[in-house]
Each structure stands twice: as structure tokens, then as C-alpha cells.
Amino acid sequence: MSQDCKEKDLPPPYQPSPQSQPPPSGYRIPLNISSTFPNLYYTKTPPCYDADGTSPVFIGSAIFNNSVHPCKVAPHLNPVCRVPYGGSEVEHHGRYDLLPFDPETMEWVPTSLGRIPNKRDPVQGGYEENGAKLYHAMATVRAVRVPGKTGEHLGGCNVAFGCEEHIITRGYEILCWRR
């Protein structure tokens, strides 16, 4: 059966009523290494593209035993889920959730030094083993916008790019709910 046939059998993505508020972490698509990657109907438009300028990169959260880390999800890579962790770009082979970026309800807000912008509500992306909250972030590395993670305890934005974890302390963005 082709990918198109499988996707026709999937239920339509959840469409909240205009009055409902999304959960703090947004509506997500649960996936794992053996999942068929969903099409744009489900993922929506990617928030950025890889260094080649054409390969889409999405935002997600990698699920570990005792923590959940914001990450990048790039369907052209194998495995598709990559986490900035411990100085490296870690290939995640387990469960992850893709967060479709919805520009009508979400926006990228400039920040620095791990700060949450005043009077803003960031989209929750996960948590550390000690319970510290992690949020989705976006930074530029070598002229490429790369999704990653931030938290007040991190003091910046950590992204996975080129087999390394890059730490950007100024001039990155945090994903927030639109007001």
C-alpha cells in the first residue's frame, strides 16, 4: 500500500474550536523510528529548512526515560530526530512528538540568556531529569535556522547541527503562544 493510501486512513488532525486553548505543549503527533512520516496536511508548513535550503526541518520533543527534550525533526536524515545534548548532536532512536508549527497561534519571539520574554507564554517542549522546564527555541548556526531548546537554567539556546551541540546565548528566539 502506498504512503498516500495509509494517510487517507488516518483521522483528520485535531481542530480545536476557536474558544478552546491548546495544552501548554500544543497538539502533537506521536512518532517513532518506524513511523511513516506524516504529510504537510498533518505537519503543516515547516518552520525552517536545512543547509541545502530545500529539506524541511520541524520542531519536536524527544522522549527519554526520565526527561523530554526539545529537538529538531528532519525527515531527510536517518534517524530523523536529533537532540542537542552533552556537547553533541545526539541521534534519537526512540519515541518523539512532532509539534506542527501554527503561525496563527504561535510565534517566534526574540530573547537572550535563557530569559522568557516579559508577559509571554512559551510553548512547553519538555523537562530535564530534575524537573526544570525546557522550551522550544530557534537559533542561527552558519546561516541556517535550527530548532533547539532553551530554559532559564540553560542561559541560552542549545541546538544540534553538524554533529555538534551549539550553545547560543544571545539573539535567538523562543516559541510562544500568540496573544
Q: Domain limits of the chain?
A: 22-177
- Band (163; pLDDT cuts 50, 70, 90): very high
pTM of structure: 0.87
pLDDT digits (tens, 9 = 90+) for 87-137: 999 999 999 999 999 999 999 999 999 999 999 999 999 999 999 999 999
Average pLDDT over the chain, rounded to an integer: 90
- Tell me the C-alpha distance between 56 and 52, whole Å: 10
- Backbone phi and psi for residue 3, each to the nearest 5 degrees, phi listed first: -60, -35
Mean pLDDT across 43-72 = 97
- CA 35/CA 178 separation, integer angstroms: 31
Confidence of residue 177 (pLDDT cuts 50, 70, 90): very high
For residue range 20-34, what is the model confidence (pLDDT) as tens digits?
A: 567 788 899 999 989
Cα-to-chain-centroid distance, residue 68 = 11
